[in-house]
Amino acid sequence: MRNLLITISYKGTAYHGFQVQKNAVTVCEVFQNAVEKVLKKREDVKGCSRTDSGVHAGQFCVGLSTEASIPCENLVRALNVNLPDDVAVLDCIEVPQEFHARYSSTGKRYVYRVWNSAVKNPFLGEYSWHYPYKLDVEKMNRAAADFIGTHDFSAFCSAGTSVEDKVRTIHFVGVEKNGDLVQITVEGDGFLYNMVRIMAGTLIEIGGGFREETQIPAVLASLDRAKAGKTAPAHGLHLDKVFYDEIEGFKRK
């Protein structure tokens, strides 16, 4: 039995996240469809994460155990032939049997994109949140620094999650502006349901002057979701990188 780590990229607009659902089309479903066409068997796959409906992924990792002998490079080509245009396989490597796409991950990097202009951009509408009011990026960066470290992120988690331990470690948060495109980058060891989108929504409220930049520590300490900002729309969020310390090319620098 071979254990394969397959890296994919996808535009999430047409999908209800990655995880298979009974009454909705997901990325996992179309990926498994392609695997079945190529290997003539519907193999079980393990995703590195569960992304929300409409969220995109520049790099998403999938674990596949198979007895098929097809070389990795041939599998990449064959899967891409059978995948829709909004999903692509980037790479495939063999990994140790004990490796797991989700549980072996040591962290992830997300990027939230905001089109910060009075005029909407028809070419970026599906990939960024159009926010027409001026944002103070320097103020957002100063506030973002308060997220770094190990905290209980209960205030930045949507209700309904079954996760009891809401302590997470954030290694980096940065905000940069390139023309009218503002990007919020977040790296951490793990994330709660809607955590990055709530962090982004809170920073955008700070940048827009609707909340003070010094509020983040108090919001974290409150453990109260109502104290944080709004949840930013899903279509601005991109899973940018998955980290695995034991796999070359996936290590966090």
Distance of CA 167 to the CA centre of its chain: 18
| CB contact at 8 A, 200 and 183 | no
**CA-CA distances (angstroms) from residue 61 to 48, 73, 190?**
5, 16, 15
Strand residue runs (E) in 138-180: 149-152, 167-178
For residues 4 and 213, give the distance between their C-alpha atoms in angstroms, rounded to a whole number: 45
Tokens of 148: 């770094």
Sign (positive or negative) of CA dihedral 245, 15, 163, 157: positive
Residue labelled with tokens 């995948």: 83
Q: How is residue 3 written in tokens? A: 């254990």
Catalytic residue among 52, 91, 180, 245: 52
| Amino acid letter, 8 | I
Q: Look up 224 and say whether it is catalytic.
A: no
Distance from CA of residue 205 to its chain's centroid? 21
Residue reference for tokens 């300490």:
221
Beta bridge partners of 239: 57, 110
Cα gap 134→116, rounded to integer Å? 7
183 forms bridges with which residues in the sheet?
Answer: 113, 176
Task: Return the SS3 of 137.
Answer: helix
Catalytic residue positions, numbered: 52
